[in-house]
Amino acid sequence: MRLLLLGNEAIAYGALASGLAVATAYPGTPSTEIVETLVEFRDRFVHWASNEKSAFELAYGAAVAGARSLTAMKHVGLNVAADPLHSAAYTGVEGGFVIVTADDPWMHSSQNEQDTRWYGVQAYVPVLEPSDPAEAYKYVKLAFDLSEKLRHPVILRSVTRVSHVRAPVEVEPPAPPKWGRFTRDVKRFNLVPANARELRKALVEKWEKIAELSADFITVEGSGDVFIVTTGVAYNYVKEALSRLRVDATVVKLGMSVPVPRSLRNLVGGEAVVVEEGDPVVEVQLRSLGVATRGKLDGYFPRYGELDTGKTALGLSKALGLPYSPPQPPKPPIEPPPRPPSLCPGCPHMATFYILRLATAGLSPVWSGDIGCYSLGINLGQQDLITHMGSSVGLGAGIAVAGKHFVVATVGDSTFYHAVLPQLVDVASRSIPLLIVVMDNAYTAMTGGQPSPSRAIPVEKITEALGLPTFVIDPVEVKKSVEVVKKAVEIVKSGRPAVVVSRRPCALVAVRKARRAGLQLPRYQVDPDRCTGCGLCYNLLKCSAIYRRPDGKAYVDPALCVGCGVCAEVCPFNAFKPEGRREAWLELWQQA
Amino acid sequence: MATSIVVVGVGGQGVLTLARWIGEASLSEGYDVRIAEVHGMSQRGGSVEVHVRFGKVVYAPIVEEGGADYVVALEAVEALRAFRYLKPGGVLVVNKRVIQPPGRWISEEELLGSLQRSGVKTYIVPAADVARELGSVMYENAVMLGFLSQLLGLPMPPSLDDRNREAFRRGARLPV
Confidence of residue B42 (pLDDT cuts 50, 70, 90): low
Q: Please state, in angstroms and rounded to a whole number, the distance separating the CA atoms of residues A4 and B23.
A: 8
Q: Say how far residue A242 (Cα) sits from the centre of its chain.
A: 33
Put simply, the answer to whether A168 touches B32 (Cβ < 8 Å) is: yes
Strand partners, A178: none
Put simply, the answer to whether B33 touches A167 (Cβ < 8 Å) is: yes
Put simply, the answer to whether A447 touches B40 (Cβ < 8 Å) is: yes
Give residues with Cβ within 8 angstroms of A192, minimum separation 6. none
A-B Cβ pairs (cutoff 8 Å, strict) = 179
Q: Is B79 a residue whose pLDDT tops 90? A: yes
Contacts of B81 in chain A (CB under 8 A): 332, 336, 339
Q: Please state, in angstroms and rounded to a whole number, the distance separating the CA atoms of residues A10 and A137.
A: 5
Phi/psi of residue B51, nearest 5 degrees? -105, 130
DSSP H helices, A262-383, are 264-268, 281-288, 309-320, 348-359
Q: Is A40 a residue whose pLDDT tops 80? A: yes
Q: What is the pLDDT of residue B44?
A: 66
Interface test with B, best of A334, A376, A379, A380 (most B CBs within 10 A): A334
Is B65 part of the contact surface with chain A (CB cutoff 8 Å)? yes
The torsion of the CA quartet A245, A251, A257, A261, rounded to 10 degrees, works out to -150
Put simply, the answer to whether A327 touches B33 (Cβ < 8 Å) is: no
Q: What is the pLDDT of residue A1?
A: 86
* Strand ranges of the sheet holding A292-294, from the earlier edge strand across to the other edge: A218-222, A250-254, A227-231, A271-275, A292-294
Mean pLDDT taken over chain B: 94
Handedness of CA A529, A533, A539, A545 (dihedral sign): positive
Residue of B nearest to A164 (CA): B37
Indicate the pTM of the whole model: 0.93
Contacts of B83 in chain A (CB under 8 A): 329-333, 336
Tell me which residue in A108, A343, A542 faces B38 most closely, judged by beta carbons. A108
Put simply, the answer to whether B114 touches A334 (Cβ < 8 Å) is: yes
Q: Please state, in angstroms and rounded to a whole number, the distance separating the CA atoms of residues A382 and A388.
A: 17
Q: What is the pLDDT of residue A379?
A: 87
For the segment A366-405, what is each residue's pLDDT rounded down to a tens digit?
A: 999 999 999 999 989 999 999 999 999 999 999 999 988 9
Q: Say how far residue A463 (Cα) sits from the centre of its chain.
A: 26
Is B153 part of the contact surface with chain A (CB cutoff 8 Å)? no
Nearest Cα neighbor of A497 from A421, A559, A409 is A409
Tell me which residue in A168, A333, A550 faces B27 most closely, judged by beta carbons. A168
Tell me which residue in A166, A308, A335 faces B37 most closely, judged by beta carbons. A166
Residue A503 C-alpha, separation from nearest chain B C-alpha, in angstroms: 20
Q: How many CB atoms are closer than 10 A to CB A224?
A: 12
Q: What is the mean pLDDT of residues B98-102?
A: 86
Q: Is A576 a residue whose pLDDT tops 80? A: yes
For the segment A412-441, what is each residue's pLDDT rounded down to a tens digit?
A: 999 999 999 999 999 999 999 999 999 999
Contacts of A327 in chain B (CB under 8 A): 64-67, 87-88
Q: Please state, in angstroms and rounded to a whole number, the distance separating the CA atoms of residues A464 and A460.
A: 6
Q: Please state, in angstroms and rounded to a whole number, the distance separating the CA atoms of residues A103 and A370.
A: 20
Q: What is the mean pLDDT of residues A353-364?
A: 97
Q: Beta strand pairing status for A154-159 and B3-10?
A: unpaired
Confidence of residue B100 (pLDDT cuts 50, 70, 90): confident
Q: What is the ipTM of this complex?
A: 0.94
Q: If you compute the radius of gyration of chain A from its CA atoms, what whole number of angstroms results?
A: 27
